[in-house]
Each structure stands twice: as structure tokens, then as C-alpha cells.
Amino acid sequence: MPQETYSHGHHESVVRTHAGRTAEDSAAYLLPRLSPGMDLLDVGCGPGSITLGLAAAVAPGLATGLDASEEVVGLAALAAAERGVENVRFRAGDVYELPWPDASFDVVHAHQVLHHLADPVAALREMRRVTRPGGLVAVREADFAAMSWYPQLPELEEWMDLYQRIARGNGAEPDGGRRLLGWALEAGFTDVDPSASSWLYATPERRREHGGSWAERVLHSAFAEQALERGLADRPALERISAGWRRWAEDPAGWFLMPSAEILARA
């Protein structure tokens, strides 16, 4: 496996956020293209909540979730068992070296994975390799610099600056969304359907979820470890940013828009 660092890490505060995602809120652009009996691969599946929704859409076809982290793959398998989903399997592995022969799946999906990688084009080539000719590679990626929020708290500006430096220090491209179409073309896809969609955090519940998660992540997750180890921030700065996130979450006018790019690329 290549020596890359996944910027968010797998602290409970991170994995909890990922486990709240669904196929409906994260893969709506793909769902109408799925039909019963398809074989689907979800790379960088995390705790598997999106994979389970995709599995429902292809049943009785098989959905496979793959992630670099053994730990989250274990959580995904647990979630599947708890929900009694039988047409799904999870395994650890690397998107750069997928453990399947050419043309193994009808659909290969990735959600919020490529902008964490040092070589997203190589990942897309590998995803295409395991897709049957005529099948689909479906990817959705955030664009950090395109995120917007209100009120414009200086602590959130500080958070964005720090996140950009941490991710770029890992060789990743946090503004991956706007580059996704270009990456697909560079990987050799010629038939690519681009789209975009956003998540909005602007209700008390959604603000609590988003602001509360980041307030915790900046103090306790890999975000904090990397910022401190690399001398990008000190503890008081992290405390300040965390408090800023809580202040944002409590503001009844608080708004945070997170846009993502999507592609449906024909293999």
C-alpha cells in the first residue's frame, strides 16, 4: 500500500460523521442508474452507510465495500449485520491496487476519496480497470475552497487555512471537486457526465451535527495530531478554532454550504 496519510484519520468524531451519510444524500446522481442484479464496488467505503443504500438499489446483485482501514471495514460489516443486509461484503484494500481481475463490476463508486489521494488519476484508472466495458465509474468529491459559510468567523477562516495546509502536506488536493472532470479525462475516460450537488447545514440540528463534529475533530482527531506534529498550530489555536465551530453552530443565522462535484464516466 502506498505511504499516503489520510488527512481525516479515523477518530470516532470523523467516522460518526461518515456513518450518518446515505446513498440518497451522497449518491443521488447515481441511484437512477442502478438496477437490480448489478455488481457494484464502493471504494473508500468508510463505515459503509452509503454502501448499504447502494446494495439495496442493486439487490439481488452484490455490493462490495473496500477501504484502506481494517477498522472501518469492521464497522461497516457490523452495520450490515445489524441491518440484516445480505447482498453486501466488505474488505480491506487499496484503491491503487484493487484485488480483482479486469472487468469485475458493473459500477465502481467512490465518495469523498479521490481528493484525499496523492494520485487520483491512477486511482481512476484502476477503478476503470475493474469496471466492465460499458459500465460506470461514479465519483463525488468535495471542493474545500468552494465551501461558504456565515457568519464569517475568523476561527473558521483559520480552520480552512489549516485544513488546506494539512491536506496539501499529505500530497492531497482539498479543492478536488473542480478538478474531477479533468482527472477523469486524464485517466482516459471519453464519455463523462458531470454534475454537482451540495450539502447545507443551516438548521439547528444540522448545525449541531456539523459544528459539533468539527469542534471535536480539531481537538482530538488526526487533524489535531497533524497540525501539532507539523508545527502548523499550537494547542491554544486548536482550542480557539474548536470554540469558533461551537459558536457558529449556536448562531441561529449559521449557514454552511458544502458543494461537491460528481461524474458518471463510461468505462
Q: How far apart are CA 159 and CA 165, in angstroms?
A: 10
CA 151 to chain centre: 26
Select the span of 67-75, 184-192, 219-227, 259-267 touching ligand SAM (CB under 6 A).
67-75
Q: Whose CA is closest to 68, among 85, 45, 50, 101?
A: 45
Does 113 engage in binding with ligand SAM (CB under 6 A)? yes
Question: Which one of 34, 50, 108, 127 is in contact with ligand SAM (CB under 6 A)?
Answer: 50
Give the nearest distance from C-beta 121 to ligand SAM in angstroms: 13
Size, binding site for ligand SAM by CB under 6 A: 21
Give the nearest distance from C-beta 82 to ligand SAM in angstroms: 17
Site string for ligand SAM, 10-29 (x = CB under 6 A): --------x--x----x---
Does 38 engage in binding with ligand SAM (CB under 6 A)? no
Cβ neighbors of 31 (< 8 A, separation 6 or more) are 23, 24, 57
Q: What residues does 90 pair with on adjacent strands? A: 65
Give the nearest distance from C-beta 213 to ligand SAM in angstroms: 12
Given a contact cutoff of 8 angstroms between Cβ atoms, the answer to whether 157 and 241 are in contact is no
Cβ neighbors of 243 (< 8 A, separation 6 or more) are 155, 215
Q: Which residues contribute to the site for ligand SAM (CB under 6 A)?
A: 6, 8, 18, 21, 26, 43-46, 50, 67-69, 72, 94-96, 111-113, 116
